[in-house]
Structure 1
């Protein structure tokens, strides 16, 4: 065989060149081939030795020797027949014996694709069936082993670290714009799908009934009183500025002062008197509004329109994006910190899960069932793809090099068949000849 310069340099460095069909013979393949060649030499040498013994025994018989030469010749003759028959059988697997176009020879090169198809079907039927996978996983007892493994603090630390790394990676690759779009779309879809007015009305009614709104009214009254005290000039200026031009200025000031004092008195009384009529008016207004939110179609429609308009505003979407950025930064920082509450809680949860799986038979059974169902689903769903991978891979192999690779892995044992055929044939020939002589005598 002629090698290129590159192939010669690869061979000199101990690297075998790539061959067609996707095979690159490795050092292990070459070592196995050398073992096959050694066994071939031994088997062939044994055949030649038996042939030599046969020739010598036949010569001894023709020379007039009697007795043992006949037995040796019979044994040697049968040994040659056995050796030749097994040589033919072994050789016919990989190539045509002596290059002759004998039918049903060179089985592996000529039947490679059929063998690949049969292998794929065999694997699919016997290894990728739901019952086989389920029984095998049940025998392994993954739930018990997983629980014992997770209960070890070192293993819990490792799982926590791996989860933190995965979480950081997932959050890093997520783009803010994508998250904003997804969250915004989810919120909008949720808001459109469910009417919020009745829920708000029910909540508001409960708040009014329990008096939870009164603190808000108290706060508004206090802030209004303080503002009026601090901005008396602004209030009186607003009143006098709205007066007609024909009224005297001192009258406008008197009216402004009077309005300001009455407004301040009203707010002060409302602040200091829990039973002030204005507070009762606020209670009735809120109760009526809560009822309208639940029962009035017009009020409900207005609230829904307002909700849609608010969610569609760019400021709200920007708020969602800003909130996501803050949450992501917080989670990433917690994932990176080994002493963060997030990682400590995750570690504690993993240890607790491991202990529960070790002690609780029902939980172990559930975990085993989940794993079995998942494995069976994958196997049954993708069994055809897996078997097709086997058949397509074998179909893409080069026939000659496929035969050589298979021979390199099993050829050594096949040569033992030749050796055994020689020995067993010789013993059988000796036994048959001895029995025939005994019967003839």
Structure 2
């Protein structure tokens, strides 16, 4: 698999803050001054001893030993000053070969560092071994269970949810709802699927409660129509009949209607019920196979989606949903936050107690590590030289010197001390032998 080379980092990762840089620069100057003072001291001792030995009558024997130590210490200090300085610049501005090593070899250092990291660190074997030793699932589980980690995870999860929801604009959300929800509901025909569902409900007997509800509603409605029935019958009877006769006729008609309604209510196979079932079955068939019925349902559907209320629905829906999600994510006692903490805590307990589950998670982490190395290590490696190459030469050299300059001054100190001791030892051996 080939990857596009990553873009180099535009900000120098070695860049120090102003206060840190000033402190390191002051410390480096202080150590440089100390090393310079030590070098000057060695030079003063050497010159003093040389002057003493040049005087009439000479100097005591021990002066030679001191002079030899000072001379060697001065040479060692100068040599190590040259070596340390040559790392970052040309000593005294002289372009001596193999000096200013870091500025002249910055890009090569980046390439070498990238290769080193690739061969020694970003390998499946090295990272897998590190991941296994760290026992990441177990450590995470202990944190979730014993250190308030579940609540912290819930809090951070809530913050991420709030940020994610707020990052979605109303226009984007409306577009998503229109294209992914409403459009998917609007595209297919509604009538045939509705007919098939109704047919299945009828075959499974699930439409019977609807039939019973309808019959009970009608029966209850009949109980409230006595006055209307009597008035209607009275209006239809001949006007020459006595009023009591018309009233008796109305009562008999209403009693007949009530009796008929009672029969329909208690008889599961009454003709009305059978007719209702046939009508419902025919309606299910028409929904599937009658073009006129299908067209009628489609027309109702289109009117529904084209209505002003439906056009405004996506924006209103997102406003309500987003506000609810944000409120839930921000409130520690909300169902969402408490559920997140509960799930995190219970998962942590299971990881601790269930060895098989923990081993399975360790395997997932190991697999994820190998996947990351196989697919992204080359990009990480390419990032190192790409980033180092875009650093300004002088800035990179200066910042590196600030970072390690103090330690390098100890090289000068060691050079002066070791040189002095070596010079003293050589002078002593020379005096003993000759």
On whether the aligned pair clears a TM of 0.5, the verdict is yes
CA separation of 1:427/1:175 partners in 2, compared to 1, >3 Å: closer, same or farther? closer
Give the superposition deviation at 1:406: 3.0
Give the superposition deviation at 1:35: 2.8
The gaps in structure 2 that reach 5 residues or longer are: 1-14, 241-245
Q: Could you tell me whether the CA contact under 8 Å between 2:216 and 2:265 is conserved in 1? A: yes
Give the CA RMSD over aligned residues. Answer: 4.8
Say if 2:35 is the partner of 1:35.
Answer: no
2:152 counterpart (127, 145, 158): 158
Tell me the alpha carbon deviations over residues 246-265 of structure 1, each in whole angstroms, 9 at most, x when there is no partner. xx999xxx9xx9xx989998
Q: How far apart, in 2, do the equivalents of 1:147 and 1:223 lie? A: 58
Q: How far apart, in 2, do the equivalents of 1:176 and 1:157 lie? A: 31
Give the stretch that moved more between structures: 99-108 or 402-411: 402-411
2:181 is paired with a residue of what secondary structure? helix
The alignment's TM-score, normalised by the length of structure 2, stands at 0.69
CA separation of 1:385/1:297 partners in 2, compared to 1, >3 Å: closer, same or farther? farther
Q: How far apart, in 2, do the equivalents of 1:267 and 1:317 lie? A: 45
Give the superposition deviation at 1:63: 6.1
Give the superposition deviation at 1:291: 6.6
Q: Could you tell me whether the CA contact under 8 Å between 1:90 and 1:414 is conserved in 2? A: yes
The answer for the alignment partner of 1:14 in structure 2 is none
Q: Could you tell me whether the CA contact under 8 Å between 1:310 and 1:316 is conserved in 2? A: no
2:306 counterpart (313, 317, 329): 313
Q: How far apart, in 2, do the equivalents of 1:223 and 1:422 lie? A: 109
The gaps in structure 1 that reach 5 residues or longer are: 1-20, 241-247
1:105 is paired with a residue of what secondary structure? coil
2:83 is paired with a residue of what secondary structure? helix
1:362 counterpart (348, 352, 356): 356
Tell me the alpha carbon deviations over residues 298-328 of structure 1, each in whole angstroms, 9 at most, x when there is no partner. 6997699569737743444545555555444
Give the stretch that moved more between structures: 340-349 or 219-228: 219-228
The answer for the alignment partner of 1:55 in structure 2 is 50
CA separation of 1:100/1:146 partners in 2, compared to 1, >3 Å: closer, same or farther? same
CA separation of 1:372/1:431 partners in 2, compared to 1, >3 Å: closer, same or farther? same
Q: How far apart, in 1, do the equivalents of 2:35 and 2:371 lie? A: 48
Q: How far apart, in 1, do the equivalents of 2:315 and 2:411 lie? A: 75
1:135 counterpart (129, 137, 159): 129
Give the stretch that moved more between structures: 274-283 or 199-208: 199-208
Q: Could you tell me whether the CA contact under 8 Å between 2:113 and 2:384 is conserved in 1? A: no
Q: How far apart, in 1, do the equivalents of 2:42 and 2:297 lie? A: 97
Say if 2:379 is the partner of 1:384.
Answer: yes
The alignment's TM-score, normalised by the length of structure 1, stands at 0.68
Q: How far apart, in 1, do the equivalents of 2:130 and 2:349 lie? A: 24
2:98 counterpart (101, 104, 125): 104
The answer for the alignment partner of 2:400 in structure 1 is 406
1:151 is paired with a residue of what secondary structure? helix
Q: How far apart, in 2, do the equivalents of 1:330 and 1:367 lie? A: 34
Tell me the alpha carbon deviations over residues 21-50 of structure 1, each in whole angstroms, 9 at most, x when there is no partner. 998463322332233223322441354156
Mapping for residues 336-375 of structure 1, pairs under 5 Å: 336-371=330-365
Q: Could you tell me whether the CA contact under 8 Å between 1:57 and 1:73 is conserved in 2? A: no
Mapping for residues 82-231 of structure 1, pairs under 5 Å: 82-123=76-117, 126-152=120-146, 154-172=148-166, 174-176=168-170, 178-188=172-182, 190-191=184-185, 200=194, 203-224=197-218, 230=225
Give the superposition deviation at 1:275: 0.7
Say if 2:390 is the partner of 1:395.
Answer: yes
Give the total of aligned pairs: 402
Tell me the alpha carbon deviations over residues 256-294 of structure 1, each in whole angstroms, 9 at most, x when there is no partner. x9xx98999876654453212342243345446657778
Q: Could you tell me whether the CA contact under 8 Å between 2:39 and 2:74 is conserved in 1? A: no
The answer for the alignment partner of 1:423 in structure 2 is 417
CA separation of 1:201/1:152 partners in 2, compared to 1, >3 Å: closer, same or farther? farther
1:418 is paired with a residue of what secondary structure? helix
Q: How far apart, in 1, do the equivalents of 2:350 and 2:305 lie? A: 47
Give the superposition deviation at 1:93: 1.6
Q: How far apart, in 1, do the equivalents of 2:320 and 2:71 lie? A: 91
Q: Could you tell me whether the CA contact under 8 Å between 1:184 and 1:317 is conserved in 2? A: no
Q: Could you tell me whether the CA contact under 8 Å between 2:76 and 2:419 is conserved in 1? A: yes
